[in-house]
Structures are given as structure tokens and as C-alpha cells.
């Protein structure tokens, strides 16, 4: 029997406008979405449960996105992480890649772009693509 549980997504971005935009767009597509503006709150949450997909900004106060990404992959290697960043550099792109990030999106991006990345990540999780 097919698993009907919706794909769970954690969104972490210190800009509330970005979080709210993503939550609304992703929930419309049937995903279960939790948003966090502070990395400390998001970190606490990932100690409580695993998410299928994590979408995280990189540049934040406190625990930055790269450290958060590392922690997510350490606790739950199966979680696919999508990095979104307003201050992309070659180094952060490479480091994200080496840490096993599923996708790296520089802002600005259209909602369709992140929806597409989430769909691809979901397919990978469900084993539909190699």
C-alpha cells in the first residue's frame, strides 16, 4: 500500500518574507512545512525529529547555514538539503556540494525553481531516480 504521509520540509531563513512565501507555496502542493527564522530554534527542532527535506539559508546569526547543514546530514543522512543563499560564493557552493547538498539556489529565484528542486528531492527520497 502506498505511503500517504506527506513529505516533511523544514525551512530556515532569517528573512520572514522568504519563509512565509515558501511555506505558502509548498503547503499548496501538499507538503508538511515548518518554518524557522532563527537557526537555534531550527536546530532544537531537528534534535526532536527528522525531516525529509531541509531548505536552509546560509548567512544567519548564530549557527550559520553551513553548520546547520552539517548537523542535519550528521543526524539524518537520508534528509535532502537544499541551500538557498543571497550571498553566494564559489567557496560556499563547493563546500555545500562536498557536504552532500541536494541543490544550491542563489537568490533571487522564482518559486517554480524551488518547487522543482523539492520535487526532484522527493523523487530521490522515494527511490524513483538513481
Positions in the binding site for another protein (CB under 8 A): 15, 17-18, 59, 86-90, 93-94, 97-98, 103-110, 112-113, 129-130
User: What is the full DSSP assignment across 2-45?
Assistant: ---PPPEEEEE-S-HHHHHHHHHHHHHTT-EEEEESSHHHHHHH
Please state the closest distance from residue 33 (CB atom) to another protein, in A: 19
Contact 13, 56 (CB under 8 A): yes
In whole angstroms, give the CA distance from residue 46 to residue 40: 10
Report the nearest approach of another protein to the CB of residue 117 (Å).
10
Q: Least CB distance from residue 49 to another protein, whole Å?
A: 28
Beta carbon nearer to another protein, 9 or 18: 18
Rounded distance between C-alpha atoms, residue 90 and residue 30, angstroms:
34
Q: Which is nearer to another protein, 40 or 89 (CB)?
A: 89
Q: CA 84 to CA 118: how far, in whole Å?
A: 12
Q: Which is nearer to another protein, 44 or 107 (by Cβ)?
A: 107
List beta partners, residue 12. 36, 56
Q: Which CB atom, from 47 or from 130, has the smaller least distance to another protein?
A: 130
Smallest distance, another protein to C-beta of residue 104, A? 5
Amino acid at each position: 500500500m502506498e505511503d500517504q504521509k506527506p513529505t516533511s520540509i523544514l525551512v530556515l531563513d532569517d528573512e520572514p518574507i522568504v519563509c512565509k512565501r515558501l511555506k505558502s507555496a509548498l503547503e499548496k502542493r501538499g507538503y508538511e512545512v515548518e518554518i524557522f527564522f532563527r537557526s537555534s530554534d531550527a536546530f532544537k527542532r531537528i534534535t526532536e525529529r527528522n525531516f525529509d527535506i531541509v531548505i536552509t539559508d546560509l548567512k544567519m546569526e548564530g549557527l550559520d547555514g553551513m553548520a546547520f547543514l552539517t548537523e542535519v546530514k550528521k543526524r539524518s543522512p537520508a534528509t535532502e538539503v537544499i541551500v538557498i543563499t543571497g550571498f553566494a560564493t564559489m567557496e560556499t557552493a563547493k563546500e555545500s556540494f562536498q557536504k552532500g547538498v541536494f541543490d544550491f539556489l542563489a537568490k533571487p529565484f522564482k518559486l517554480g525553481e524551488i518547487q522543482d528542486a523539492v520535487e526532484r528531492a522527493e523523487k530521490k527520497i522515494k527511490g524513483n531516480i538513481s
